[in-house]
Amino acid sequence: MAKTEFDEFVAKDVNAQKGVSIPVHAGALERLFVRKVACSNLHPNAEDEFTYDTVGPSYKIIGEYEKKFRHAIQTGQEVFDEPLIVEKLRPSGYLLLNGHHRWAAAMRVGIKKVPVKIVNQATESDIQKILENSRHDKRVALDLDEVIFRPDDYPHLEKALGFPRNLKYKQRIRLGTPALFYYLAKNGYDIWVYAHEYYSIDDIRGFFKGYSVYVDGIITGIGKKQKAELESAKRVEKMISNKYTETIHIDNDMIIVTRGKTGDFEEYELNCPDEEWAKTAITILGEIEKNEKNKE
């Protein structure tokens, strides 16, 4: 497809899906494996800059992928280093979350099928139900990519999940994370985790279940949200702030306690060796709780 022709194709597809397709949760087996899907069954996301009239696709990026794909085909190599991230649609097809330019390059090169990883995203209604069903008025927020997940060569890791969970869940977490989550749940905190990357909310919940702990709220893909999605994110954050009188952010080297809607906050340093991160966090949280009770 020529540039103008492809632009028209994208605009036509977005318009055809409007008022027809809705995202739905995929089953466990659908999310388990990377699969190959026909390019024609993948639909560009109307909330991504790729489809905006004022922004649109970057044909420089698409061209670079086209060159890479053609070289891989000619030399018999794998065309895709990693799958496109998609969400299942009803009545049919998949919504692109991450990988629009690779999809475009595949279309223009003539590749019929591409590898995809299906994820389930938390909707506003999902989050609203979590908040309505929660009996707690305080929560803890942690960043999965920056704080919880760690590379395989990190020296202080929790033991990997056993078979068969280890076949599905490849992430490793820092030492003490399950103990910290257990402490939080026991002391009346809802646990919310955030991620810049797209992960399936069901996979994240299942992963932590393997460590015998529960996560209440899961919001992923925050580093990739576009303008329209940011509006939704603002509404979600407002719902959350209306629900909780206290939010505690636990980082790698800091605990920040934000109270009420005023935004007043207190900071506590996590000045400790990495292997004592969870233990130190629990100690500080215990002191915070004790101080709060003494004020009553």
Across 236-240, average pLDDT: 88
Residue 229 has pLDDT above 70, yes or no: no
Distance CA 243, CA 133 (A): 11
Residue 275 has pLDDT above 80, yes or no: yes
Across 70-92, average pLDDT: 96
What is the CB neighbour count within 10 angstroms for residue 267? 9
Residue 237's pLDDT band (boundaries 50, 70, 90)? confident
Question: If you search the block for the tokens 């576009």, which residue do you land on?
Answer: 226
The two counts, helices (H) then strands (E), for the chain are 10, 14
> Helix 277-295 vs helix 177-186: angle between axes, to the nearest 10 degrees?
20
Q: Lowest-confidence range among 6-10, 73-77, 85-89?
A: 6-10
User: How high is the pLDDT of residue 228?
Assistant: 53
Same domain, 181 and 253: yes
Sign for the pseudo-dihedral over CA of 277, 282, 285, 291:
negative
Same domain, 94 and 213: no
- Name the residue range of residue 279's domain: 124-295
User: How high is the pLDDT of residue 235?
Assistant: 86
> Which CATH number characterizes residue 246's domain?
3.40.50
User: How high is the pLDDT of residue 132?
Assistant: 94
Same domain, 136 and 282: yes
Across 63-88, average pLDDT: 96
Domains contained in the chain, number? 2
The pLDDT tens digits for 128-159 are: 999 999 999 999 999 999 999 999 999 999 99
Same domain, 72 and 175: no
Same domain, 134 and 42: no
Same domain, 141 and 266: yes
- Tell me the two tokens of residue 137: 């008025």
Last residue of a domain, one of 59, 91, 118: 118
- Tell me the two tokens of residue 261: 């809607």
Same domain, 173 and 270: yes
Q: Strand, coil or helix: what is 197?
A: coil
- Tell me the two tokens of residue 251: 């980082």
Look at strands 190-194 and 138-143 and give their pairing: parallel
What is the CB neighbour count within 10 angstroms for residue 54? 5
Contact 104, 3 (CB under 8 A): no
Residue 156 burial by CB count (10 A; 0-12/13-18/19+): exposed, middle or buried? middle
The pLDDT tens digits for 5-56 are: 888 999 999 999 999 999 999 998 899 889 999 999 999 999 888 998 888 8
Residue 112 has pLDDT above 70, yes or no: yes
Give the side-chain half-sphere CA count within 13 A for 38: 4
Residue 292 has pLDDT above 90, yes or no: no
Contact 119, 203 (CB under 8 A): yes
Last residue of a domain, one of 118, 138, 168: 118
Q: Is the backbone of residue 19 left (phi > 0), alpha (psi -120 to 50) or beta?
A: left
Question: Percent of the chain beyond pLDDT 70?
Answer: 96
What is the DSSP code (8-state) at residue 174?
Answer: B
- Tell me the two tokens of residue 92: 């049919």
User: How high is the pLDDT of residue 224?
Assistant: 64
Same domain, 216 and 134: yes
Last residue of a domain, one of 118, 153, 178: 118
Same domain, 33 and 132: no
> Which CATH number characterizes residue 110's domain?
3.90.1530.10
